[in-house]
Copies of this chain bind each other. A is one copy, B any other.
Amino acid sequence: MSEFARRVSAEFLGSLLLAALVVGSGIAAQQLSPSDVGLQLLQNALATALGLFAIILIFAPVSGAHFNPVVSLVDAALGHRAWRDVAAYVPAQILGCISGAVVANLMFGLPAASISATERLTAPHLLAEVVATAGLVLVIFALVRSGRGHLAPAAVGAYIGAAYFFTSSTSFANPAITIGRMFSDTFAGIAPSAAPGYIAAQLAGGLLGFALVRLFYP
């Protein structure tokens, strides 16, 4: 396997594991603690923070462990990565996240795919996605551009775990996982009608994050 194919495969498999993690722990939480949504989100957030740390550690030396089109775009815009990589990473991330949602559904004995009916599109939620994504970009590239990239797995896991709570949207902050989450009508799902708005807000947040990285780490 070529080194390029290996990197793209790493983005696919990492995105699959990420979506299985997010969607799967959401299903578990919903089934196990049906009466308290805060407790469900606590289980979902803790599992995501811990699991994200491990998944990023696995793939970081291979592909950079983005699993997120916004991260790949900013990485290229900052000159850290070839645009050719981004063109291959993004479809791998999207396919990976869809596949991961399917794996989660199957692990919990649900139909392989079901379209989420969870409407989430409100102005406050869009603001939340802008903030969440800008913060994510800032965390990652502040570390990368100051020689502390080895801290990114822990920092990204911690940041996302916190952002599940401090943003009203529970911080999707990632167009690929937004698409993947459409395919599970469970706790972490999002209705297809809401996805384009979320993705637009995430791209805006990525742009804001990019500007802030340029400002603080020129």
Contact = CB atoms under 8 A, between A and B. Distances in A.
Interface of A: 1, 6, 9-10, 13, 17, 20-22, 24-25, 27-29, 31-33, 35-51, 53-54, 57-59, 61-62, 103-104, 106-109, 122-124, 127-128, 131, 135, 138-139, 142-143, 146, 148, 151, 154-159, 161-169, 212, 215-217
Given A33-B38, A43-B165, 6 more contacts: A24-B168, A32-B37, A49-B50, A51-B162, A51-B166, A54-B158
A24 B128 CA distance: 10
B40 A39 contact: no
B148 A50 contact: no
Q: Which of A32, A108, A156, A162 has the most CB of B within 10 A?
A: A162
B142 A51 contact: no
A114 B129 CA distance: 23
SS of A interface (majority): helix
Contacts of A162: 21, 25, 46-48, 50-51, 54
A155 B25 contact: no
22 contacts: A10-B216, A22-B166, A24-B165, A28-B41, A28-B166, A29-B38, A31-B38, A32-B37, A32-B41, A36-B39, A38-B43, A44-B165, A49-B50, A50-B162, A51-B158, A54-B155, A54-B159, A57-B143, A57-B148, A57-B151, A59-B216, A157-B158
Contact of A155 (B47, B57, B156, B212): B57
Contacts of A127: 103, 106-107
Contacts of A41: 28, 32, 43
A161 B47 contact: yes
Contact of A103 (B27, B39, B131): B131
A180 to B, nearest CB: 14
Nearest to A19: B166
Contact of A51 (B33, B163, B169): B163
A130 to B, nearest CB: 9
B108 A50 contact: no
